[in-house]
Amino acid sequence: MSQKILICDDEEGVRESLKLILGDLYDLVVIEDPELIPEVLSKNKDVKLTLLDVKMPKIGGLDALKTIKTSFPSVSVIMVTGYKSVEIAAEATKLGACGYIVKPFKSEEILEKVKKVMG
Amino acid sequence: MVILNPYAVPPLITSCTALILGLIVAYKSKTKLNQVFFRWCLCVFIWLFSYTICYSITDEKLATLLSKIACTAVLFLAPTFYHFNVIFFKKTKEEVFVKIGYLIDILMIPLIFSTNHILNGVHKFFFGYYVVAGKFYWITLLIFFSFSIRALFLLIEGLKNTALSPKEHQQTQYFLVAFSIAYLGGVDFLPKFGINIYPFGSFLFFIWIILMAYAILKHQILDIKIVIQKSLVYSLLLASLTIIYLLVVFCLESILQKVFAYHSVLIRILIAFVLGVLVLPLRNKIHQIFEKIILKATPIELAEQNELLRSEVAEKEKFKAIATLASGIAHEVKNPLSTLKTFIDYLPAKHNDPEFMSKFSRLGNQEIERVNNLVHNLLNFAKPTPPEFKATDINKLIEETIGLIENSAQKNNITIHHSSQSTVHSSLSLDQNQIKQALLNILLNAIDAMPNGGTLTITTLSKNKFYEIEITDTGSGIAKDDLKHIFEPFFTKKDTGTGLGLSITYGIVEEHKGKIEVESTVGVGTTFRIKLLLDHRRL
């Protein structure tokens, strides 16, 4: 049975790229608006991992991470970001993220990190 | 009887000028440095004004009292000068010695006034009464020179201090030259020992005043702003030169009367007439001389220099903004790069998949277009262009500007809220780059004000004829006293700031015939409101 991953990114290009990399291996739920995360996660109880963009309008990735970790503690989160920032990485880890991917990413890196979580 | 003797003229002019200079400095800014500078000027005034009268009177008793007052003032010059340097070079550890200096001087006062040990009466020289040194006069010399030498040492040490900014370094050079010249006025001690020499220290102090005025004008020392400096110090020096002129006339009259024993109002009338005829060309001449010697330029040239300086620094500010912009763009480019990279990676395996190929073609073009736009924006902003007013979609412009700082905001854990209450698609006639820069300066300041994160809210609305942009941060806020100065050039509270960002913003808004307002509460945050005239046309 394929496992489910939620992808939340406001950039179409990034969403499509992640779909390309992970689509053949996993069941994907892809959304643009981080405000929809709680609703989507409530509906899809089998989501094991969320890939979250750090920089998004309305609510930032770190806020979204907080929401996920409070309401859906069993869901693992990997942050995807445009720049290497020790502070944000540390903050994300503190908030419970299990990984951190820096753009422009390599497909192997994504696969490796996702496989580690999904088992 | 008081007869103003010609030898009393230099101390009179110097004392009055020193007092006025001190008052301007103290009035313009109430900082400790300015207060101490005022005290120093006050001492110079008391010293030289007392001698002005002393030279001109025949009453020996009064002359003795006045010369004692003068000497006390001189004594206080040393710790005050020392105090000035301690504050300027932030030598907080030496503040206790400053207090000791003041205390010693206060203790000397009763000794000076109630005994003859320090000052022993007055002697009549060719220039008038002058004080005679007492048995223990050397004590005052010791006090005076020990504090002065320490202060001068601080100045010399300051010159070698590499931690000083170039501006502070230049200020130190000026202080050193100005105060060194002033201290050559130490020759005034000589007549006290019976040496028959005119105490020309007041001339040297006049040079000191000119130098200080020049330093204040040119290098913004002591916080006085340029316009006030220009007009006040200018008229101050002009006034003192006019006094010289008047006194020459006065002396001439006395001589004529003595030599020719000619007592008539005719002389006064004649001189008044000459004065009336000469006053205007003379004043113009003084203007020219002052401009050439002191400012090394005419007001027009000076204005040009200022304008050049302003544009140079504005350019620098722009480059700072470009650096921020570039880092934002570097980030923005990473998203399209990620997309292109992933699709190219999968191209060999999926080139037969029509869905993949159509997505690749669409997204690829879209992302390349995005990178192209970003680079184009940066180049546009960096290119120095003359202001160009054209109909602009202000909402789009604000979006673009916010886009430039998103990266920095995120790094600092700052959330940006942007909402537009303006119902019309607002078109304004403006220079896009300038308004972008104006907004960027406020936004970057807001980010600086929230080092521990916060919220940046940008609200726009159209109200009557105006389009209003409100930028609110939840930062440290601006103190009430500082608030009045924030749009003034060179005003900054940041260690690395040039103090020009907001003054440039102000200039840009003015150029657009708009208005800018600011409200701030310390600890709560700051709100900037820019009002721009709406264009009647619509996009």
Tens of pLDDT, residue by residue over B354-386, are: 999 999 999 998 888 888 877 776 666 666 556
* Residue partners of B348: CB distance under 8 A and separation at least 6: none
Which B-chain residues 342-401 have CB contacts (< 8 A) with chain A?
A: 342-343, 345-346, 350, 356, 359, 363, 366-367
pLDDT tier at B224, thresholds 50, 70, 90: very low
Rounded to the nearest 5°, which phi and psi values hold at A24?
Answer: -75, -25
Spans of chain A below 50 pLDDT: none
Contact present, B291 and B415 (Cβ < 8 Å): no
- Rounded to 10 degrees, the C-alpha dihedral B486/B490/B493/B498 comes to 120
CA B213 to chain CA centroid, Å, is: 12
What value does the mean pLDDT take over residues B311-335?
67
Angle at which helices A86-95 and A61-71 cross, to 10°: 20
pLDDT of residue A10: 85
Task: Extract the tokens encoding B349.
Answer: 């395996």
* Global pTM value: 0.41
Q: Pairing relation of β-strands B466-473 and B515-521?
A: unpaired
Q: pLDDT band at residue B227, thresholds of 50, 70 and 90? A: very low
Residues of A with CB under 8 A from a CB of B: 11-14, 16-18, 20-21, 54-55, 60, 62-63, 82-83, 85, 87-88, 91, 103-107
DSSP sequence for B205-223: HHHHHHHHHHHHHHH-GGG
- How large is the average pLDDT for residues B41-55? 88
Q: How would residue B412 be classed by pLDDT, with cut points 50, 70 and 90?
A: confident
What is the rounded CA–CA span in Å between residue B4 and residue B55? 8
Q: Is the pLDDT of residue B251 over 90?
A: no
Classify A23 as helix, strand or coil: coil
pLDDT tens column, B414-469:
888 888 776 555 677 888 888 888 898 899 889 888 888 899 999 988 877 788 89
Q: How many CB pairs under 8 A join A and B?
A: 73
Contact yes or no for A105 and B342 at CB 8 A? yes
Tell which wins on pLDDT, B125 or B98: B98
Residue B295 DSSP label: S
pLDDT band at residue B15 using 50, 70 and 90 as cut-offs: confident
Whether B413 sits inside 8 A of A105 (CB atoms) is: no
State how far the Cα of B61 lies from the Cα of B56, in Å rounded to an integer. Answer: 13
ipTM score for this prediction: 0.85
Highest mean pLDDT among B94-108, B137-151, B427-441, B525-539: B94-108
- Report the share of chain A in percent with pLDDT over 70: 95
pLDDT for A20: 92
pLDDT above 90: residue B276: no
pLDDT-derived band of residue B229, with 50, 70 and 90 as boundaries?
very low
Instruction: Give pLDDT, residue B226.
Output: 41
Provide CB contacts within 8 A for B368, sequence distance 6+.
B336, B340
Residue pair B462/B424 in contact (Cβ under 8 Å)? The answer is: yes
Residue A65, pLDDT score = 93
For residue B537, pLDDT beyond 50: no
Nearest CA to B159 out of B144, B143, B145, B180 is that of B180
